[in-house]
């Protein structure tokens, strides 16, 4: 069974600084997808970034980028130029290529951006 | 226009009651889901439907019954509510088939259920 581990329950960062959230996963599959979702206090689940396992290039979305290390089964999220609006729970998630939408989530990292 | 909408957003009820949460998506997606987020914020899939057909049914008590009248709607009915059912329930949808968009889920805003 696949598992996703986020080892940092809470983190904080100063506004405008850079922070990296860790995520590791365990799978024996070769075709899969990895995601970071953000859940602000509003409770809405918002997709931050997505990575296909077959792509070697790390995904980037504006200030958000990932460090995907397939052999190490690591998928960390880097947030550059942190903003107050980045304060949220961040969930790392795994989806098998054939799972038809079964996202397996980590336990989340609560990120606080301080002014 | 909200892409995935759930009603109600908040629901407080007594143990033993029956309640429903409704979900509608206007994205034209074929697949819809229910996820549960417990008090520790842990998210787990409960069900998924593809064009009104049940695809995923995780280990969920049979007091929970999803119903999909059409591919744009997936409702969740819960019988004989228990204290442990208190959680946030998220509806989501995604396109069908292979391709870059096939497996990106769009979530609703969640429905917080409190059982007293």
Reported as a single tens digit per residue, the pLDDT across A77-89 is 999 999 999 999 9
Q: What is the pLDDT of residue A97?
A: 82
Question: Is A43 within 8 Å of B112 when comparing Cβ atoms?
Answer: yes
* pLDDT exceeds cutoff 50 at B116: yes
Q: Which residues contact A109 (CB under 8 A, 6 or more apart)?
A: A6, A8, A9, A10, A11, A21, A22, A89, A90
* pLDDT exceeds cutoff 70 at B100: no
pLDDT band at B50 (very low <50, low <70, confident <90, very high): confident
Q: What is the pLDDT of residue B98?
A: 47
| CA distance, residue B73 to nearest chain A CA (Å) | 17
pLDDT band at A110 (very low <50, low <70, confident <90, very high): very high
Question: Is A102 within 8 Å of B48 when comparing Cβ atoms?
Answer: yes
Q: Give the Cα separation of B20 and B75 in Å (integer).
A: 7
Averaged pLDDT for residues B73-92: 96
* pLDDT exceeds cutoff 80 at A98: no
Question: Is A100 within 8 Å of B31 when comparing Cβ atoms?
Answer: yes
Closest CA to A17 of A110, A80, A63: A80
Q: What is the pLDDT of residue B102?
A: 54
Nearest by CB: A43 against B42, B45, B110: B110
DSSP H helical segments within chain B, as ranges? none
What tokens does A3 get?
A: 């598992």
* pLDDT exceeds cutoff 90 at A20: yes
Lowest-confidence pick of B11-20, B25-34, B101-110: B101-110
Q: What is the pLDDT of residue B110?
A: 96
Contact residues, chain B to chain A, C-beta under 8 Å: 31, 33, 35, 40-45, 48, 50, 55-56, 88, 90, 92, 94, 103-107, 109-110, 112
* pLDDT exceeds cutoff 90 at B104: no
Element (H, E) at A83: none
Is the CB of residue A31 less than 8 Å away from at least one CB of chain B?
no
* pLDDT exceeds cutoff 90 at B60: no
Lowest-confidence pick of A33-47, A99-113, B56-70, B96-110: B96-110
* pLDDT exceeds cutoff 90 at B99: no
Residue B74: Cβ-neighbour burial (10 angstroms; 0-12, 13-18, 19+): buried
Question: Is B45 within 8 Å of A50 when comparing Cβ atoms?
Answer: no
Q: Which residues contact B30 (CB under 8 A, 6 or more apart)?
A: B50, B51, B71, B95, B96
């Amino acid at each position: 069974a696949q598992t996703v581990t986020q080892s940092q329950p809470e983190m904080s960062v100063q506004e405008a600084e850079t922070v990296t959230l860790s995520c590791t996963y365990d799978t024996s599959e070769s075709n899969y997808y990895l995601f970071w979702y953000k859940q602000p206090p509003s409770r809405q689940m918002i997709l931050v970034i997505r990575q296909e396992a077959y792509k070697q290039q790390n995904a980037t979305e504006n200030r958000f980028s990932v460090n995907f290390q397939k052999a190490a089964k690591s998928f960390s999220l880097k947030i550059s130029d942190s903003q107050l609006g980045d304060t949220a729970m961040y969930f790392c998630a795994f989806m098998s290529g054939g799972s038809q939408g079964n996202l397996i989530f980590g336990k989340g990292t609560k990120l606080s951006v301080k002014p | 226009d909200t892409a995935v909408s759930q009603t109600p957003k908040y629901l407080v009820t007594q143990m033993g009651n029956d309640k429903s949460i409704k979900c509608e998506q206007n994205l034209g997606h074929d697949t819809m889901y229910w996820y549960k987020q417990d008090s520790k914020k842990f998210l787990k899939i409960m069900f998924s439907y593809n064009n009104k057909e049940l695809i995923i049914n995780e280990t969920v008590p049979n007091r929970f019954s999803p119903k999909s009248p059409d591919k744009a709607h997936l409702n969740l009915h819960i019988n004989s509510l228990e204290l442990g059912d208190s959680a946030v329930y998220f509806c989501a949808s995604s396109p069908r088939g292979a391709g870059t968009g096939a497996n990106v889920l769009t979530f609703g805003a969640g429905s917080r259920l409190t059982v007293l």
